[in-house]
Chain A
Amino acid sequence: MIRLKQWALRVLGFLFSEWLAHRFARLLSWRLVNHLRGDATSTLLLLLLGAMDTAFCLLESYRVNISGLKAVYTFRTDDGAVSRTVRFSDGDMIIEHEQDPHADAIVDFKSATALRSFLFSKNQDVLDSLLRDEVHVHGNLNYVYRFAFLARDLERRILQVA
C-alpha cells in the first residue's frame, strides 16, 4: 500500500510542474508546517519523516539530495514512546518501526522540541539542547549533518511556498 502511494506520488511529481509539485507537497505536509510554526508535539518525528517521504516522491529537485545515499538512521525518544528507523537506498526512503542497533546514526532525543531545535534552523537553540543534555547521537555525526540538511531543505521548500 505504502509503495503504491509512493508510486502514485512519483507519477504526480512527473506530471506536475516544479511549482505545482511544491504546492502539493506543502498541502500534504500541512501538519508538519503547523508543528514548525507552533508547539512541537510527540508526532513531530513521524510528521517529518512522512513529509520527507512525500517530498522525495513529488519533487525531483529534492530527491537528488539522496541520490547515491545508503544510510540507516534510528530516531528514538528516551522513554521509547517514539521510535523509527529510516533507510535510504538507491534514491528511495523506507520508514520502519523497529530500531536498528547497527544504524549509521542513532539519535536519542528527550522531546519533540529538542528534536526540532536540533534539526531545524528555525527556532534552533542548539545551546539549550546542549544545556538540557536533550539530544545524543551515537554513531557517525556526518550522517546526522546530512539528515539535518534534508530536514532544513524540506522546511525551506514547504515554508517558502506559503
Chain B
Amino acid sequence: MRQITPDISSALDRVQLSERVLKLRAAYFRAIPEVCDERPGLITEYHQQHRLFQQDRITPRDKARAYRHVLERREPIVWHDAAYARNGERFPIDAQSLFIGSTTRRFKGVLLYPEMMALALWPELYSLPSRKQNPYYIDERTRDALNARIFPAWMDHSLLELARKRLVAPGEAKPDFELLGRLVFFLASKPNCVSHTIPDFSQPVHRGLRTMIAEANQHSKTAATPEQAEFYLAMVEVLEGIVSYSHHLADCAAQMVFREHDPIKRAELLTLAELHRRVPERPARTFREGLTTVWLCWSALHLENANVGLSLGRLDQLLYPLYRADMDAGRLSLSEAVELLCCLWLKIGDHVPSVPESGEQLFGGTGSNQAITIGGVDRLGRDAVNDLTYVMLRATELMLLRDPNLNARYFPGINSPEYLARLCLANVRSRATPALHNDAAVISALVSKGDTLEDARDYGVVGCVEPCSAGRHYGHTGALLLNLPSVLELTLFNGCHRHTGLDRLITEATGDPRQFATMEDFRLAFAEQLRQLAERAVGVNNAMGKTYQEFYPSPLLSALFEGPMQSGRDVSQGGAQGNSSGVAIIGLADVADSLTAIERVVFAEPRVDFGELLNALEADFAGHDALLARIENATLTPSFGNENEVAEGNAHWLVALLDRTFSAHVNPRGGTYRVGYWTMTNHAGFGMLLKSMPNGRKARQSFASGITPRSGKTPELLRTLNSVAALPSTMIANGMALNIKFMPEGSDSASQQQMLEFFRAAVEGYFTPQGADAGGMEIQFNVTGSDDLQRALLDPKELETLLVRVSGYTAYFKDLTPEMQQEIITRTQYRLSSGQSAPITSVRVRDPITSEAAE
C-alpha cells in the first residue's frame, strides 16, 4: 500500500483550521472545567441498589453490570450548546463537533471517581470556583449531590481505604501506608488510578463489537471454570453497554432532526445517527467511522479507568487503511481529514482529572496525559510513517492543545530524514510538541525486559513518555514515583530524614557517614537505603494491586485488550499479554551530582570532613561559602551532562542500581518493575519538600527535570546529548524525558531553514547509536526562549494558549505553579547555531493570586 504521497507535507501546510474548529477551539479555551456528577452518581446508585458495598469481593461480572448500568442510563449528549467561562458567565457554543457523546455531561468536565481519590475534593466543594490554581465550576445541584449522597457512600469503600484495611496474608509484609502519607519518599498512584496503558482499538475498529460479543459468548460456553465463564459474560455486558450508548446517541441525533430548521445541521444529524447505528457495533468502513469507534470505546473506558494516562496508541497505523481507502476513493479530502482529527483532539480533551488544591500546589498543571503515537516502524521493522502521520502532525500544530500528548517515533536509518525534519518543524511551530522517541533504543530496551521483538516494535507511548507494546502490555507505567533525593537523605542521616525529623528513624540505620572511610562505604549504604525504600514502595503498590483484584476488576479494559479473551482472566489478574509496573525516578541528576560532590569533596584531596558537609547542609550552606564555591566549581566538582568520567560514572551507577533494585520485585499480576526517568511536575513539587543537597542545591529549589542534567550546569549541547545518550537504555524501559530548551533564531526563511537543519542534525546525532550504546531514547523541547516565557507572563493573550513541555507532558504555561514556571524559565537554553548555552536574564514569576508577574 502506498504510504507517503509526494509533497504531502506542503499540501498539508495549505490546510488551515475550519470555521467549525476555530469556534470549537475558542470555546474550549474559554471554558472552565465543570464538575460532573453523572458517572459517580450512577455508579453509586448501582452499588447501593445491588448491595455491592456489603460484598467482601466484587467480581468482574458485578463491575460489568455496574458499567452497563451507567452506559445505558447516561445522558446521550449530541452537541453541547453552552459552557461556563472563568468569570462564572455562561456562554453559548455556536459550533457543532463532528463527534458526538462526551466523557462527562459537560463540554469540559471534571471526571470524578469516588472509588479512588474524588473525595479529596470534598473540603473544596464551595471554594472550587475561586481557588487560586486551576479552578472548576460546580453548580449547587452537583455540590449537594456529591456532599449528601455520593461522597458519604464511599467513605469506607475507596480503594485506598479498602487496601488500608485489607488483612495481610501470613508471611506478607504489612504495607507502609504511613510512609506513603508522608509524601516526601514516594508517591503511589494506585489510590488514584491504574490507567497508564493503551487499549487495543483494532478489534472494535476492524471486527466490530458485535463480533467480539459473539466470541465472548462462545468462550463462556466452553470456559474451563465457572469463574472464566462469568468473566466472558462480564465482557459481553460491557460491550453491550457501549453498543447501547452508541444507539442512544443515534436515537437522540435522529430526534433532533425533527427540531432542527437548519438544513446543514439536519444533514449532519442524519449522518451522525446513521454512523452511530453502525459503529462501534459493526466494523468501520471509513476513516470517520474508524475515528468514531475509537472515540466511543475510549470515552466508555473512562467509566472504569481514571482519566490519567489512558492513551490511544498508534492511531496513524490503526486508521491508515481506512484513511487511504477514503482518499483513493475520493470520499475524503486533506482538509476534511484534518478537520476530523481536530474535532477528535478536542473531544479527547473534553475532560480533566480532578485535582485537589494541595495537589495543584505541588503538582499542578497536568492534563489527562493521553498520549498518541505516530511514525516509527511496524511489527516487521519496516518504515511505518504514512500520510496519516503527517495529517496528525498538522492537526496537532494547528490546534496547540495540551491533550492529546503527541509522541513521534523515529528509527534512524529506516525512517526518512525528511520525516525527522518535519517533526522538528512541528516543534518549532508548536513550541513544545511532539516528543521524539528513538525506536532503536526503545525497542532494544523493551526486548531486554522480555517483550518479543515484534511486540516491542509495536510500542506506543503511554501517559508522558513510557513505551509499552500497544494494546497488549498492561504496564501501569506510573505506578510509583520515587523521590531519589530522599534515598540520599536517608543515607546522609543514617535512616532519618530532615523533613520527618532527625529523631525519627524511617529506615534501618546504615551507619553514620562521618565514619565512612571510602566512597564505596557510602555507595553501599546508599544501595541499602534504596533497597529498603524500594521494598516499602513496592509493598504499598502491590497491596493496592491486590485490592484492585478483589474490588476493582476491569472488565471494560479487559474486553478491549489483547490477552484476556484468550486467557479468560481480567487484566487486573494478569490476563493481559504483558504485565509490568512502572517506576518513575525523580531527581537523578541532583543525586548523581551529589554523589560526585561527596566523592570529590569528602573522599578526594583536599578532604573536607563529612561532618562539615552535613553541617553545611543543615545550614543550607549559609556560612559555608568556601565549601559551596568548591562544590559549584565545574572543574573541581563536575556535573552530569558534560561527558566527565566521574560525573557520568555516578549517573551510570545509579541507573544500574535502580534497575537492579526494582527488577527484583514482582507485582500481583506476575510482571516485573521497570524503571524510567520522567518527572512531570514532581521535580518541582518534591524539590519544595527537600532541604539542601551536597551538590549545592539549596532547600526548596526544584530538582532537575526527567533525566535532564541540572539547569545551568551544561554549557555545551553536544556534550549534554552525548552524556544522556550514553546511559544504558536497556535499564530505562519505563521511558525517559530529556528536556532541552532552544532559543528560536532568525526571522528570515534562510536562517530559519538553517535552524531547522541544526535542529534535525542535533536529534539525528543524539539518536544515532555509538558503539555499544543504542543512542538516546527520547528528547523533547521547549522552543521558546526564557525571555519570551517571561514576556508571556505579562501578556494574558499570549499566555492563554502558550504550550510548554514540562517533563513528559505538555501543559499550558499559565496553569503551572510559579515554582514550575520558574523551573522552565531557568532551564538551560541553547542556541542551535552554536550549540552553546545562552545566558538567562532576570526571572519573573506570576503570582497565582494576582496573576501579575513579579521578580
Contacts and interface: CB of A to CB of B under 8 A. Distances in A.
A136 B181 contact: yes
Contact of A64 (B148, B362, B499): B148
Interface string A119-141: 10100101100110100111011
Q: How large is the interface on B (under 10, 10 to 19, 20 to 34, 35 or more residues)?
A: 35 or more
12 contacts: A121-B126, A126-B361, A130-B184, A133-B182, A141-B120, A141-B160, A142-B161, A145-B122, A145-B151, A149-B123, A152-B124, A156-B126
B115 to A, nearest CB: 12
Contact of B123 (A65, A68, A145): A145
Given A131-B688, A145-B120, A146-B152, A121 B131 contact: yes
B158 interface: yes
Contacts of A119: 123
Given A121-B124, A140-B161, A146 B357 contact: no
Given A65-B147, A145-B119, A130 B183 contact: yes
A122 B512 CA distance: 43
Contacts of A140: 155-156, 161, 164
A148 B673 CA distance: 37
B689 A148 contact: no
Contact of B127 (A69, A131, A146, A152): A152
B606 interface: no
A153 interface: yes
Contact of A152 (B123, B156, B184, B361): B123
Given A142-B119, A142-B158, A152-B126, 4 more contacts: A126-B361, A127-B688, A130-B362, A152-B124
Nearest to A153: B126
Nearest to B128: A121
Interface in B124-154: 124-127, 131, 147-148, 151-152, 154
- Interface SS of chain A: helix
B122 A146 contact: yes
B119 A68 contact: no
Interface string A67-83: 11100000000000000
B357 A126 contact: yes
B500 interface: yes
Contacts of A149: 122-123, 125, 147
B623 interface: no
Contacts of A131: 499, 688-689, 700
B170 interface: no
Contacts of A127: 358, 361-362, 688
B330 interface: no
A47 to B, nearest CB: 19
Contacts, number: 77
Contacts of A148: 122-123
A133 B501 contact: yes
B155 A146 contact: yes
Interface in A94-140: 119, 121, 124, 126-127, 130-131, 133, 136-138, 140
A131 B688 CA distance: 8
A142 B356 CA distance: 13
Contacts of B181: 136-137
Interface in B484-503: 499-501
Contacts of A124: 357
Contacts of A137: 181
A85 B197 CA distance: 44
Nearest to B161: A140
Contacts of A142: 119, 122, 151, 154-156, 158, 161
Interface in B342-401: 357-358, 361-362
Interface string B310-340: 0000000000000000000000000000000
B360 to A, nearest CB: 9
Contacts of A153: 126
A93 B630 CA distance: 61
Nearest to A122: B127
A140 B177 CA distance: 11
Instruction: Point out which of A64, A131, A151 has the most chain B C-beta atoms below 10 A from its C-beta.
Output: A131
B358 A133 contact: no
A157 B770 CA distance: 67
B358 A126 contact: yes
A41 B302 CA distance: 46
Interface string B438-468: 0000000000000000000000000000000
Nearest to B501: A133
Contacts of B151: 142, 145-146
A104 B553 CA distance: 27
B471 to A, nearest CB: 35
Contacts of B183: 130
A135 B598 CA distance: 34
Nearest to B153: A68
B688 A121 contact: no
Contacts of B154: 142
Interface in B21-47: none
Contacts of B499: 131, 133
Nearest to A68: B152
A104 to B, nearest CB: 8
Contacts of A69: 152
A65 B147 CA distance: 8
